[in-house]
Amino acid sequence: MNPFLRALALLIAVFVAAPMFIVIPMSFSSAASLTFPPPGYTLANYINFFSDPNWTEPLVNSVIIGIGTVFVTLSLAIPASFALVRHIFLGRGLFNLLIMLPMIVPTIVMALGYYMYFGQLRLVQSYLGVILAHSCIAMPMATLILTAALKGFDQSVERAAMSLGASPFTTFRLVTFPILRPAFTVAGLFAFIASFDEAVIALFISGRDKATLPRQMFNAVRQEADPTISAASSFLFLLVLAGISIWLAPQFLRRRSGFTRQPLENGATNTAPAAS
């Protein structure tokens, strides 16, 4: 490929990645203001992040709400995706549209709606309210992941299980679910992250007591008063970095090992050096 193009792509990649890395040195900054480079280094911000209830409570709230969102979303999205992929029924298109709607409607509009509606239902400033709102937000993506996995799922293993004596429920438990578990996990992960990172709705309906981490960060940025925001940002960024590394690691390890197994007809396997 054109070396100029390679250089350009590299440059753009650096532009895309670099700005976020700045939060890491900032998190160790001893200054209260946004001075860069930091005048001195300290762990105070991190200590504060993990000890000041102004930060630890939102962190815990976000985790609780995230987990709640995962449960609600998956309980709804898993059966819905089965309905969408395995059944043909009148209104299927409409149902699909309904599920995708939260992706279409701007979040601020929903935030206003929830604020007014949940306000009536006394659901503001509660875990439940935010969990329910976040579940709506997470549904489209979770359903997309699940339907994609289901479409690629070969139903003959289910038929095989049934022919071998497994009832429909046992088939689901012992065959369908284990095979789909990775997809369920990914969908759940997306739901968790969607909820954990969600700022706009949480800003308006999570209330001061049940504030989420993004809400706390939003206010901290707005007021520019609390340098702990740097530790919070760095913490989140490093989580993403760690997550991606963990996901990539198996691929790197496999390449390094240099050996692959090849099945042979006579039953032995040949351990041969990899082509690279």
Cis-peptide, bond into residue 37, ω within 30° of zero: yes
Interacting span for other proteins (CB under 8 A) from 44-52, 53-61, 63-71, 217-225: 217-225
CB nearer to other proteins: give 133 or 191.
133
Among 3, 40, 53, 263, binds other proteins (CB under 8 A): 263
Rg (C-alpha) for the chain, rounded Å, is 24
Residue 249 touching other proteins (CB under 8 A): no
Q: Are 110 and 133 in contact (CB under 8 A)?
A: yes
Q: How far is the CB of 53 from other proteins (least distance, A)?
A: 19
Q: Are 234 and 48 in contact (CB under 8 A)?
A: no
Name the one residue in this structure whose structure tokens are 């702990």. 228
Cα gap 15→20, rounded to integer Å: 10
Which residues, 90 to 119, sit near other proteins by CB under 8 A?
A: 92, 95, 97-118
Cα gap 101→105, rounded to integer Å: 6
Kindly compute the dihedral angle of the four CA atoms of residues 189, 194, 196, 201, in this order, to the nearest 10 degrees: -160
Interacting span for other proteins (CB under 8 A) from 40-48, 51-59, 63-71, 148-156: 148-156
Residue 23 touching other proteins (CB under 8 A): yes
Interacting span for other proteins (CB under 8 A) from 43-51, 53-61, 63-71, 219-227: 219-227
Give the DSSP letter string of 73-86: HHHHHHHHHHHHHH
Number of residues that bind other proteins (CB under 8 A): 117
Q: 177: closest CA among 153, 200, 193?
A: 153
Q: How far is the CB of 52 from other proteins (least distance, A)?
A: 17
Q: How many CB atoms lie within 10 A of CB 90?
A: 7
CB nearer to other proteins: give 5 or 275.
5
Burial of 129 (0-12, 13-18, 19+ CB in 10 A): buried
Binding mask 224-243 for other proteins (x = CB under 8 A): x----xx--x--xx--xx-x
Among 3, 53, 87, 270, binds other proteins (CB under 8 A): 87
Binding mask 155-184 for other proteins (x = CB under 8 A): xxxxxxxxxxxxxxxxxx--xx-xx-----
Binding mask 38-67 for other proteins (x = CB under 8 A): ------------------------------
Among 257, 261, 270, 271, binds other proteins (CB under 8 A): 261
Tally the residues of the chain: 276
